[in-house]
Every structure is written in C-alpha cells, then in structure tokens.
C-alpha cells in the first residue's frame, strides 16, 4: 500500500497505512501519527490557488458594491 494523499486540489500530505488489524481502521479521518510525508511545494501551490481565488472573489464583490 502506497498511502493516501490528502489536500485539495493538490495532495500535499501523504498519510501512510494504519498498522491496525483488521485492515479497516476503527476511525476514519486524519491521524497525525500516520503522516509519512509533507510535500511543501504542493502545500504552497494550494495556498496560492486559494489566495488567488479569495482575492478574485473579494475584488469582484468590491466592484459590484461600488457600482450599486
């Protein structure tokens, strides 16, 4: 098992498989102890994508409010 990528739209946290038996975990979600790798380039890319998106939405609403 290669692990599970977490993050949207680009995976930036790779979570390793759990050591629990049976193979299904007793809980679902993010477990800090199973983090295998953090991809900092992808994290920065995600941050910039969301920043640009929020900046664009903010500028759009400022422009609409200004015309009213």
Phi and psi based region of residue 33 (left: phi greater than 0; alpha: psi -120 to 50; beta: remaining):
alpha
- pLDDT tens profile 12-23: 988 877 666 566
pLDDT value for 32: 74
Helices (H), the chain: 40-67
- pLDDT tens profile 27-54: 666 677 778 889 999 999 999 999 999 9
What pTM value is reported for the model? 0.70
Among candidate residues 15, 13, 21, 18, the one with its CA nearest the CA of residue 3: 15
- pLDDT tens profile 49-59: 999 999 999 99
Domain ranges of the chain: 4-67
């Amino acid at each position: 098992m290669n692990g599970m990528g977490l993050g949207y739209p680009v995976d930036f946290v790779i979570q390793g498989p759990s050591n629990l038996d049976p193979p299904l975990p007793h809980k679902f979600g993010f477990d800090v102890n199973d983090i295998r790798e953090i991809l900092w380039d992808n994290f920065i890319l995600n941050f910039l994508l969301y920043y640009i998106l929020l900046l664009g939405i903010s500028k759009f609403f400022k422009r609409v409010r200004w015309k009213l």
